[in-house]
Amino acid sequence: MPRPEVWDCHVHLDPSIGGDPLDGPWWNGRPPSALFGLLDTVGVTGVTDLDGGWGEQILRERLDRFGRSDRYRCFGGVAWDKWAAEGNRFAERSAHRLRRQVARGARGLKISKALGLAVVDDRSELVPVDDPRLDPIWRAAGDLGVPVLIHTADPPQFFEPSPPTREAIPVLDPHPEWRVDPSAGLSRDVLFEQLCALVRRHRRTRFVAAHLGNVGDDLERLDAALSEHCNLGVDTSARFEWLGQSVDAARRLLIKHSDRVLFGSDYPLSERLYRTLFRLFESRDTFTLDGAYTMTGAAAAVDGLGLPGEVLERLYAGNHHRLLGRGP
């Protein structure tokens, strides 16, 4: 059966923002024809670039460089570093900045894991994910009809002390800053509950939780969250071993919530990446997922999900187009 249309909803084109610059190629400094040539080779229609979430200058540069193509979309973001100066005006001003970003061409709002883990207010106090002071931002996204793609927390291993009590986590060796100090009182579970509270409070705003919400090791919990919150979706990015190591439960989840799961990679774009992901979602093969494509950096034995064609159509592109439309 021919592969349905594919759209990657979670990419980074800049090595300073995501991934390992040695495992390229990276695309922000190359002509658009190079990026689209790769996509043609692997049969991917287009990509949604989340790098605009790290600054309006990046957003402007990317839209100028790639934005004239209907194969490219970019998200905007929130300038958390302005909170100290703007005080209690920060949220309203951030909502205004979002409206301006969308007017320029941003197709959504990207929120990084800094919210809940590192963002502080004008009193230098940590800001929870569901802080009501930020409500004007989420309301603006709902009013504008653009989705919020939000990365909350990290896998539970990232919250363990160093050295970890369970398996080794090779990906943390070059990125020790990704480890969360357990003495800070933060946990993956607390942050996920904050996310659910936020989604519950803003039912007119559509949220997409990146990385299977970082609860893909507990698919019953993810199923319950998707069942409760009709305005919540997830993307598959960078948590592929969770799916391939619980294949029956994952297959049930992706079929049951086939209108709420978006295909995303979050790794350096390459032919090898896409061939690997297509094998995971389309085949029933048992194979080894290279550590380059796992959340811990360690190779993992996985089984393919063998999803039905109608589910692949929604996963690969249909849900993305429903959220963002088909135009440039």
* DSSP state letters, 196-249: HHHHHH-TTS-EEEGGGGG-TT-HHHHHHHHHH-TTEEEE-TT-HHHHHTSHHH
Q: What is the pLDDT of residue 281?
A: 98
Euclidean distance between CA atoms 328 and 163, whole angstroms: 47
Beta bridge partners of 49: 11, 74
Euclidean distance between CA atoms 187 and 252, whole angstroms: 27
Euclidean distance between CA atoms 14 and 30, whole angstroms: 11
pLDDT digits 0-9 by tens, 179-220: 887 767 889 999 999 999 999 999 999 999 999 999 999 999
Q: Is the pLDDT of residue 18 over 90?
A: no
- The alpha carbon dihedral of 163, 300, 41, 315 has a sign of negative
Q: What is the pLDDT of residue 166?
A: 55
Strands 7-11 and 72-74: unpaired
pLDDT digits 0-9 by tens, 263-285: 999 998 999 999 999 999 999 99
The larger pLDDT score, comparing residue 248 to residue 173, is at: 248
**Which range is most confident: 50-54, 254-258, 292-296?**
254-258
- Of the given ranges (103-117, 170-184, 312-326), which has the lowest mean pLDDT? 170-184
Tokens 């990026």 map to which residue?
A: 35
Q: What is the mean pLDDT of residues 47-53?
A: 95
Euclidean distance between CA atoms 152 and 283, whole angstroms: 30
3-state secondary structure of 265: coil
Q: Is the pLDDT of residue 175 over 90?
A: no
- Of the given ranges (129-138, 154-163, 266-275), which has the lowest mean pLDDT? 154-163
Q: Is the pLDDT of residue 35 over 70?
A: yes
> Could you tell me the pLDDT band of residue 2, with boundaries at 50, 70 and 90?
confident
Tokens standing for residue 166: 């369970």
> Could you tell me the pLDDT band of residue 21, with boundaries at 50, 70 and 90?
very low
Euclidean distance between CA atoms 268 and 292, whole angstroms: 9
Tokens 């100290």 map to which residue?
A: 84
What are the start-end ranges of the E strands in the chain? 7-11, 46-49, 72-74, 109-111, 148-150, 207-209, 232-235, 261-262, 286-289, 300-303
* Average pLDDT of every residue of the chain: 92
Beta bridge partners of 72: 47
**Alpha helix segments (H runs only) across the chain:** 32-42, 56-66, 83-86, 90-104, 114-117, 135-144, 188-201, 219-228, 240-244, 247-256, 271-282, 309-313, 319-324
Q: What is the pTM of this model?
A: 0.94
Euclidean distance between CA atoms 72 and 6, whole angstroms: 13
Q: Is the pLDDT of residue 9 over 90?
A: yes
Q: What is the pLDDT of residue 165?
A: 55
Q: Is the pLDDT of residue 288 over 90?
A: yes
Tokens standing for residue 323: 């959220």
Q: With contact defined as beta carbons under 8 Å apart, do 7 and 46 qualify? A: yes
- Of the given ranges (15-24, 181-190, 287-296), which has the lowest mean pLDDT? 15-24
Amino acid letter for position 7:
W
Q: Is the pLDDT of residue 323 over 50?
A: yes
**Which range is most confident: 27-31, 97-101, 158-162?**
97-101
Tokens standing for residue 185: 């009182």
Q: Omega of the bond prior to 136 within 30 degrees of 0, cis?
A: no
Q: What is the pLDDT of residue 185?
A: 82
Q: What is the pLDDT of residue 22?
A: 43
Q: Is the pLDDT of residue 36 over 70?
A: yes
The larger pLDDT score, comparing residue 298 to residue 262, is at: 262
